[in-house]
């Protein structure tokens, strides 16, 4: 086995999820991620846990939307839901062989499928003690999407996750310490204003908590985030990169906010899909997350949000459900991160003080 996969599994089990004896651990993946699933299974056993692989066949979701009836598409996965309700931990490993498998299906079908995931997402967000971790196994399809060879993409993934380092857990602890100074620029303040060629937006973070992300829930990581005051967003943003959700790539998304709500949304393509998801429920036109990407080791767009939202010099704003630990009260069936590049002629001010310019925090 690739030594980096073994390193990766040890980091996920011992740093990200902090598995202890007795923990029941769901491992969600497709069969394409078998090498990492095997390594995780072994490492969970080594730490005294009980691994439960919940594997899907490749393109399983596409098959469901193609052949399933309305009731089957809207059906909540009972095994996953029970695991989220009762288990101590779960790993979700993105490992698609066709990341855009849902493109082309009617927006109504896609919205019904997203709604079926809502109870599972809600349980994940509401259980403070639930040790959930999301990561990715490099497949040829992801490499193609990133315009890389598989070998280059594997190098990119393992480098971004620090799995190519001798002591990746120590490296992630260093990230934690370094990012504390970024949190201090926002925590305890109120008005955040973002300006640049693609954004003119204000929001409030008053009485909200900023979270330091260093590989405990996402791998790779490198961001700070909060849930902004729900009714505080005013202005507009044009997202620099395509917004990808459940394999559907929506290009040229532009949103206008008024008192926290998206009052106008346009896209260069897949606009019907965008509008359908925005109308999923009462919370889908409001924002659940505002974040700054800090991972300077990730600089290129790959088409995968797990990596792209961490790009150093960008911000991302998620429509829909927020994380309760930040103080967010927004609930929705969706959580859709969209990325705006801040590396050119862009600033962030907090209560009138310049804290960030052209993709870098002011020292």
Give the pLDDT score at 13. Answer: 98
Strands (E) located in 242-321: 243-245, 248-250, 254-258, 261-266, 287-293, 314-320
Given pLDDT bands bounded at 50, 70 and 90, which one contains residue 246? confident
**CA distance linking residue 69 with residue 271, whole number of Å:** 25
The pTM (predicted TM-score) of the whole model is: 0.85
Residue 205 and residue 192 in contact, taking contact as beta carbons nearer than 8 Å? yes
For the ranges 225-234, 237-246, 349-358, the lowest mean pLDDT is seen at 237-246
Stretch 185-213: mean pLDDT, rounded?
98
pLDDT digits (tens, 9 = 90+) for 249-277: 899 999 999 999 999 999 999 999 999 99
Does position 1 have pLDDT exceeding 80, yes or no?
Answer: no
- What residues are paired with 319 via a beta bridge? 287, 336
Residue 319 and residue 344 in contact, taking contact as beta carbons nearer than 8 Å? no
Number of H helices, E strands in the chain: 11, 19
Q: pLDDT over 90 for what percent of the chain?
A: 88
Q: Where are the domains of the chain?
A: 3-166, 178-361
Given pLDDT bands bounded at 50, 70 and 90, which one contains residue 63? very high
Structure tokens, 241? 């990169």
pLDDT digits (tens, 9 = 90+) for 286-329: 999 999 999 988 988 998 999 999 999 999 999 999 999 999 99
Summary mean pLDDT of the chain: 95
Q: Is the peptide bond before 294 cis (omega within 30 degrees of 0)?
A: no
Stretch 1-6: mean pLDDT, rounded?
92
What secondary structure letter does DSSP report for 126?
H
Give the pLDDT score at 55. Answer: 96
Sign of CA dihedral 326, 329, 333, 339: negative
Helix (H, G, I), strand (E, B) or coil at 171: helix
Q: Is CATH 3.40.1830.10 correct for 3-166? A: yes
**CA distance linking residue 329 with residue 37, whole number of Å:** 35
Q: At what angle do helices 150-160 and 3-11 cross, to 10 degrees?
A: 30
Does position 363 have pLDDT exceeding 90, yes or no?
Answer: no
**CA distance linking residue 20 with residue 278, whole number of Å:** 40
């Amino acid at each position: 086995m690739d030594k980096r996969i073994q390193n990766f599994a040890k980091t996920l089990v011992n740093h990200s999820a902090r598995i202890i004896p007795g923990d029941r651990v769901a491992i969600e993946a497709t069969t394409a991620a078998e090498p990492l699933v095997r390594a995780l299974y072994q490492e969970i056993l080594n730490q005294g846990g009980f691994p439960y692989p919940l594997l899907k066949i490749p393109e399983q979701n596409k098959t469901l939307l193609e052949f399933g009836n309305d009731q089957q598409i809207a059906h909540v996965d009972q095994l996953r839901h029970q695991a989220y309700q009762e288990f101590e931990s779960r790993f979700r490993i993105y490992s698609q062989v066709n990341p855009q498998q849902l493109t082309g299906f009617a927006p109504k079908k896609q919205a019904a499928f997203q709604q079926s995931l809502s109870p599972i997402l809600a349980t994940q967000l509401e259980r403070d003690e639930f040790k959930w971790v999301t990561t990715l196994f490099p497949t040829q399809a992801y490499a193609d999407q990133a315009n890389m060879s598989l070998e280059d993409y594997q190098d990119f993934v393992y480098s971004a996750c620090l799995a190519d380092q001798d002591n990746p857990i120590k490296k992630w602890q260093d990230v934690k310490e370094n990012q504390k100074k970024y949190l201090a620029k926002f925590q305890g303040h109120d008005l955040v204003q973002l300006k640049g060629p693609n954004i003119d937006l204000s929001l409030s973070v008053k009485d909200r908590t900023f979270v330091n992300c260093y590989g405990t829930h996402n791998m790779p990581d490198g961001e700070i985030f909060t849930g902004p005051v729900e009714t505080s967003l005013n202005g507009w943003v044009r997202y620099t990169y395509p917004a990808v959700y459940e394999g559907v790539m929506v290009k040229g998304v532009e949103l206008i906010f008024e008192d926290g709500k998206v009052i106008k949304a346009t896209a260069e393509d897949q606009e019907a899909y965008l509008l359908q998801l925005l109308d999923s429920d009462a919370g889908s036109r409001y924002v659940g997350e505002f974040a700054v990407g800090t991972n300077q080791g990730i600089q290129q767009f790959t088409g995968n949000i797990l990596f792209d939202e961490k790009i150093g010099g960008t911000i991302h704003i998620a429509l829909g459900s927020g994380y309760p630990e930040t103080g967010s009260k927004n609930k929705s069936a969706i959580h859709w991160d969209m990325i705006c590049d801040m590396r050119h002629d862009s600033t962030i001010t907090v209560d009138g003080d310049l804290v960030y310019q052209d993709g870098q925090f002011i020292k």
